[in-house]
Amino acid sequence: MTKNELFERIVRILTDSFEIEPARISPESRLYDDLDIDSIDAVDLIVQLKPLLGRNLKRSRPCAPCRTSLMLCMACCPVRPLPDSSTDAATMARARMVVVAAISLAYPVLVYAAMGRFEPRWLALLLFALALLRALSTRQPLWWAAAAGAGLLAGLATVLNQALPLKLYPALVNVVMLTVFATSLRFGPPLVERLARLQEPDLPPFAVIYTRRVTQVWCGFFVLNGGLALLTALYASDRVWMLYNGLLAYVMMGLLFGGEWLVRRRVKAAHAHG
């Protein structure tokens, strides 16, 4: 397959699978910045290209050049990866995402530790920082909406000088995650299936069904966890709010991960012997 043929195939995939206008696509297009393609979408792109490239595409997940631009992808997949100097933008984007995730995980503890020492309007700076980092780390409208929601809560905390808007942030995160998982069920493929294809691009039919069920379970978890996050923000003490959202919620999440791993092993074993 020539590079021109590969490019034409990529254009068709981007148009059909991601509803991107053909006029926006060129060999110089950047997946993140120009086409709003995130890392998981890039996996879908590589999975769809794999049957066309055959043995030339030996990796099961997109390498750094493939996650950066179409030109680098076309140069990389049929031949070899390009130098790391071409991946600075992707590296910075990943770094921002890691910072956002770390601050989000520690957010309840950080806010609780600062309560009594600083007024809520000053604590709102942390939430403003989260909103800004979130907006800079993505081109996806949903995450822009999440950043706007965080900014709105921070603005309310600043104007009212009250802690309640700050305590509502964990509930907002659960609403966003529920939206991400639920929309993937509605429009497909389910998010857990897309993550599973990072390790195993060619999922068997039973695994596709299983990953859809797991996505549904996570939707239920976000409904439950988001509801409890809201209740603790509205009615519980600051300490109880921190303990639930900064500790117990993560324990529940870990138990769900562990339970799903055990069930997955049993499902795989059952189909291996079936």
pLDDT tens digits, one per residue of 58-85? 444 445 445 445 544 554 554 333 344 4
Of 25-29, 154-158, 191-195, the least confident:
25-29
CA distance 55 to 254: 38
Q: What is the pTM of this model?
A: 0.70
* Cβ 42 vs Cβ 66: under 8 Å: yes
pLDDT of residue 63: 52
What DSSP letter does each residue of 141-201 carry, written as one string? HHHHHHHHHHHHHHHHHHHH--SHHHHTHHHHHHHHHHHHHHHHHHHSS-HHHHHHTTT-S
Q: Name beta bridge partners: 118.
A: 115
HSE-CB for 264 with a 13 A CA cutoff? 16
**Mean pLDDT value of segment 19-39:** 71
pLDDT in tens, 176-205: 999 999 999 998 889 898 888 877 878 889
